[in-house]
Amino acid sequence: MKFLYDFFPILLFFIAYKTFDIYVATVVAMISSVVQVGAFWLKHRRVETMHLVTLVSIMVLGSITLLLHDETFIKWKPTVVEWAFAIAFLISQFVGEKTLVQRMMEANIQLTDNKIWGHLNLAWIGFFIAMGALNLYIAFNYPTDVWVNFKLFGMMGFTFIFVLAQGFYMMKYIVAEEAELPTKPENPHNQA
């Protein structure tokens, strides 16, 4: 469910683009990003870094797109966001005691080897760099319709596959919770 919530502005951008044009879609994406961050804050009284980075980048690039009426800026937005995440994850390798992946996931997943968090963090860095580069390639080598389809279906699909692959990788390192085994009642006849 959280996965769909994170892609909420992209989905609305796609619908608005198919219904109207890229400029209406840009406004819809800007508004939906504000709603996304606001709704999350109202529910949790905090803001997720990913949502905040997305909001800032879409507001800046979206505003420039609307002012200049140049769709190039909106096509750059996914790359800016992906590469900003790559930089943040890279910095976390060297600053602080835990990587960003570990900070985000360790409340729900315990791993047998702490070095695995570093490996997962590096994998995310590579994924973000690759997705940013792929976005630029699609955006500037194919028609806008193809890019919009890629932005929704391609990026979401690649992210889903990557998360699934990462899950399979982590499976052998996840600490299994010890189940409470019922204790055998003492046999009263064995008392000395």
Per-residue pLDDT of the chain (192 residues; tens, 9 = 90+): 565 567 788 889 889 999 999 899 999 999 999 999 999 899 999 988 778 878 888 899 889 889 988 888 888 888 988 999 899 999 999 998 889 898 888 888 888 887 899 999 999 999 999 999 999 999 999 999 999 999 889 998 999 999 999 999 998 888 876 444 455 545 445 544
Query: What crossing angle do the helices spanning 22-44 and 71-94 adopt, rounded to 10°?
Result: 40
Give the Cα separation of 3 and 64 in Å (integer).
Answer: 28
Instruction: Name 143's Cβ contacts closer than 8 Å, sequence gap at least 6.
Output: none
Measure the N-to-C terminal CA separation of the chain; round to a whole number of Å: 59
Query: What crossing angle do the helices spanning 49-68 and 71-94 adopt, rounded to 10°?
Result: 150
Q: What is the 3-state secondary structure (H, E, C) of 11-49?
A: HHHHHHHHHCCHHHHHHHHHHHHHHHHHHHHHHHCCCCH
Contact 139, 75 (CB under 8 A): yes
